[in-house]
Structure 1
Amino acid sequence: MKSKTLKKDKVNIITLGCSKNLVDSEVLSGQLQASDIDVVHENKKLDHNIVVVNTCGFIDKAKEESINTIFDQLELKRRGKLDKVFVTGCLSERYRADLEAEMPEVDAWFGTMELPLMLKKFEVDYKAELIGERLLSTPQHYAYLKISEGCNRTCSFCAIPLMRGQHVSKPIEQLVAEAEGLVKKGVKEIMLIAQELTYYGLDIYKKRELPRLLDALAAVKGLEWIRLHYAYPSKFPLEILDAMNRHDNICKYLDMPLQHASNNMLKAMKRNITREAMSELIHTIREKVPGICLRTTLIAGFPGETEEDIQELKDFLIEHRFDRVGIFSYSHEENTSAHLLEDNISQEDKELRAQEIMEVQQEISLEKNQEKVGKTFKVIVDRKESGRYLGRTEFDSVEVDNEVIINSKKKLEIGSFVNVLITKAFDYDLEGEVM
């Protein structure tokens, strides 16, 4: 595209929010690079002249961060450091009209499905033949693989369908080709992501086909770990567990957001499942896949939540002893069915409740980590920091889970696998020696 500078354009992409946004940014980067446009992610050098801010609109804190980031980039533009500021992603999809009025200095706004339109601003066309081609922003040895877009669920607290639309699965052949391309780039671990993994295939194959997809991906040579994120508990297809048992390269790891454990709250959240059914599912999963790591995500402070509901949630955590837990404070989102309810819990109380719940989980996490002392685990080496290597077991995903501090007298290659004897346990991390 033409800009006021005589230098060749250089585009910096800033990504906020979830891993699904990150994949969108990587796809945009791949398209720009294929059209001979210089592109970087999260550039610290400030030697670019165009910025694309890929925003998150999920909850209040994420929206605030997105807006502050846009303002920061507009300030750089006002100071003559940038020529153009473009905004895309979920916040732009959801609040474009309001944001355009508030920030007229932004050069263009795009929704979540408007990549071809954005490319027109760079005077290039969308290249359909590049499907699956991405310029990775992650370290070379791992990547996210988005298997579908959108969501058909009607959870009362969630605005994702408003921003991402209805569920659309990618064909198995396309995903296998994308995985093969990632392996050629050096990727050894892929994390399957979607708004809802277990719905995969219902739209294009007329039945749930995540197990068939897993079989196909497990056959990709060079793919050592396949990890599953964001499974919905209601009508969970148990065949997923059979696929996990069939293939050594499918991690015994499942991220299944439950959101709450009180039946009152589950009903108000429109989760289509009861506490009793969730308990039965958890027992079945652990019975079918011994040693599996279960991660879940919870919400504190939903409208009408009582102290009794919080106690039920704590009791549920103590009963089931999840390996990993994340928690959000409830965010009152416009145009969701929960927005019709009174947001009757203060932000301070929401955060206190979240803290109480995490204190229960912290103790469980420490106990589970202590059980690993004296055992040896296969660990992927993620990075070197302050003279020590940091990695993860198959039971830990990137950024959200435990890390292993690896003590080694020998130089280790980033992205390699090593066997580590665990010698120390902390609340959320482990330490060990290379065997």
Structure 2
Amino acid sequence: MKTRTIKKDKVSIITLGCSKNLVDSEVMSGQLRANDIDVVHENKKLDHNIVIVNTCGFIDKAKDESIQTILEQVELKKRGRLEKVYVTGCLSERYKANLENEIPEVDAYFGTMELPLILKQFDADYKAELVGERLLSTPRHYAYMKISEGCNRTCSFCAIPLMRGKHVSRSQEELVAEAKRLVKSGVKEIMLIAQELTYYGLDIYRKRALPDLLNALANIEGLHWIRLHYAYPSKFPLEIIDVMKERENICNYLDMPLQHASNKMLQAMKRQITREEMEELIGEIRNRIPEICLRTTLIAGFPGEDLSDIEELKTFLRKMRFDRVGVFTYSHEDDTSAFTLPDLLTQEEKEERAQEIMDVQQDISYEKNLEKIGRTFKVLIDRKEAGRYLGRTEMDSVEVDNEVIISSKKLLPVGEFVNVKITRAFDHDLEGEVV
């Protein structure tokens, strides 16, 4: 008679979508680990028996990727490679009933705020004392930190409030404590993220408190870089720029999604700002910090957009000369106010417009990179790949921005800073040598 061995569960968490989802997965990992459950983020060894898919539901492409990933994991379960498949995140929050009907093989679906219910599947308890503690899935020298959840904005194209709810700020004390733990673990760069950074504090402090938070974080010894992502342009508090200028360890970098530059489109998108006001804001920011790196994202193919709007957007880019630009194609999202508008453009037409915009930005990016040749920058080494080191300046965030390619016979430890003289420029990357 054969004896059945009881193998301890091992969980692999698959994260799709944005950095905010990644933080959620890290928090989940920390809670599971604290309950003595073996957990790995996107386990390459494939020796796990349980999968949790943390989905994205932001745009059609992200939804398709999430559904495909769920189906792949369900297929592994059918073949006996997995025992359980759980699904959480934005797609699950928004379309739970549909998913349960369409993919019933998943063992359970959970929303974005149901971590305690996920833990119950493992007979585990949510440990409130671990708030802010995570099991990092990034290299140990950098981490994302979510300063708030949800969004109170009413942009007509965006479904995030439907999936994440209203804006809720975390306390300054909690965030400072988390940042100190991260630095103690070896983190040198913290990227502040939220659906909307500049709204921070309005709900709990009755004022825009991001400048106060930045000063408190900048006081943490050993925290070399603090980076700001996802700032809303309307009613932007310029005190943020003043703090950035005053504090050496706050990167001269701002990620401010503008979405468009045609006033007709900005009004249809309910962005609460005009092109003229955006130009004035950007001018004032650059007046206060001339060397600041500005990143923005834009949407191509919004309902009602015509070729004159694209031309206006391209003219705006040539005038503003952003350092970094990302372009999305419009996705027609259920229950958003834009869903009532006729979405007449094909995906191919939207992508053609997006490419037109990126062609303009590519030229600007190359020209800006050429200006860096001969200059020396402080570079954080991220990894070694194919015999070369890849790092970033303070003007570059992880994954979305430029990299500095460095050939060096000398060992350059990952996570350390080196001074690099730029010797060559490309459209979106730089090459240099250690000095």
Whether TM exceeds 0.5 here: the answer is yes
Q: CA deviation at 1:45?
A: 1.2
Aligned position for 2:188: 188
2:92 is matched with 92
Matched, 1:131 2:134: no
Q: How far apart are the structure 2 equivalents of 1:147 and 1:40? A: 24
SS at structure 2 position matched to 1:325: strand
Instruction: Give runs of aligned pairs for residues 127-166 of structure 1, distance below 5 A.
Output: 127-166=127-166
Distance in 2, matches of 1:422 and 1:330, equals 37
CA distance in 2, matches of 1:346, 1:305: 13
Residue 35 in structure 1 maps to residue 35 in structure 2: yes
Distance 2:228 2:408 in 1: 30
- C-alpha separation between the residues in 1 aligned to 2:290 and 2:248? 14
- How far the C-alpha of 1:5 sits from its partner, in A, is 7.1
Indicate the residue corresponding to 1:311 in structure 2: 311
Match of 1:294 in 2: 294
SS of the residue corresponding to residue 339 of structure 1 reads: helix
Instruction: Count the aligned residue pairs.
Output: 432
State the match for 2:274 in structure 1: 274
Question: What residue is the counterpart of 1:76 in the other structure?
Answer: 76
Residue aligning to 2:380: 380
Scaled by the length of structure 2, the TM-score of the pair is 0.99
Q: Tell me the residue number matched to 1:233.
A: 233
> What is the distance in 1 between the residues matched to 2:60 and 2:192?
26
Distance 2:192 2:416 in 1: 21
Q: Structure 2: how far apart are the matches of 1:99 and 1:81?
A: 22
CA deviation string 1:101-146 (max 9, x = no partner): 0011100100000001110111011000001110000000000000
Distance (Å, rounded) in 1 between the aligned partners of 2:12 and 2:348: 37
Q: Deviations over 1:176-204 (max 9, x none)?
A: 00000001110000000000000000000
Per-residue deviation, 1:98? 0.3
Q: What is the alpha-carbon distance in structure 1 between the residues aligned to residue 431 and residue 67 of structure 2?
A: 39
Task: Quickly say closer, same or farther: Cα 1:5–1:325, change in 2 above 3 A.
Answer: farther
CA offset at residue 346 of structure 1?
1.2
Task: Give secondary structure in 2 for the equivalent of 1:14.
Answer: strand
Query: Are 1:320 and 2:320 an aligned pair?
Result: yes
Match of 1:208 in 2: 208
Cα 1:5–1:144 shift into 2, 3 Å = farther
Write the distance in 2 (CA, Å) between the matches of 1:80 and 1:184: 41
> What is the CA–CA distance in structure 2 between the aligned matches of 1:430 and 1:171, rounded to whole Å?
39
Question: For residue 175 of structure 1, what is the aligned residue in structure 2?
Answer: 175
Provide the rounded CA distance (Å) in 1 between the counterparts of 2:408 and 2:386.
13
Poorly superposed stretches of 4+, deviation over 6 Å: none
* Aligned position for 2:343: 343
Q: Counterpart of 1:83 in structure 2: which amino acid?
A: E
Q: Which runs of 5+ in 2 are unaligned?
A: none
Match of 1:265 in 2: 265
CA distance in 2, matches of 1:102, 1:142: 39
What secondary structure is seen at the aligned counterpart in 2 of 1:51? strand
* 1:323-354 per-position Cα deviation (integer Å, ceiling 9, x unaligned): 00000000000000000000011111100000
1:104 equivalent in alignment to 2:104:
yes
SS in 1 for 2:420: strand
SS at match of 2:88: strand
1:46 is matched by which residue type in structure 2?
A: L
Amino acid aligned to 1:235: K
Gaps of 5+ in 1: none
Residue deviations 1:32-79 (CA, integer Å, cap 9, x gap) = 001110000111111000000000000000000000000000000000
Displacement of 1:304 in angstroms is 0.5
Cα deviation for residue 408 of structure 1 reads 1.5
| Counterpart secondary structure, 1:77 | helix
- 2:144 is paired with a residue whose SS is strand
Q: What displacement does 1:6 show? A: 1.6
Query: 2:431 matched to which residue of 1?
Result: 431
Which amino acid in 2 is paired with 1:138? Answer: T
Aligned to 1:116: 116
**Percent identity between the aligned chains?**
77
Structure 2 counterpart of 1:98, which letter?
A: N
CA distance in 2, matches of 1:122, 1:222: 37
Residue 409 of structure 1 is matched in structure 2 by 409
Query: What amino acid sits opposite 1:358 in the alignment?
Result: M
The residue identity in structure 1 corresponding to 2:331 is S
Kindly state the Cα deviation for residue 409 of structure 1 after the two structures are TM-superposed.
Answer: 1.8
SS at match of 2:400: coil
Aligned positions of 1:35-74 closer than 5 A? 35-74=35-74
Q: 2:9 corresponds to which residue?
A: 9
Query: Equivalents in 2 of 1:42, 1:32: separation in Å?
Result: 15
TM-score, L = length of structure 1: 0.99
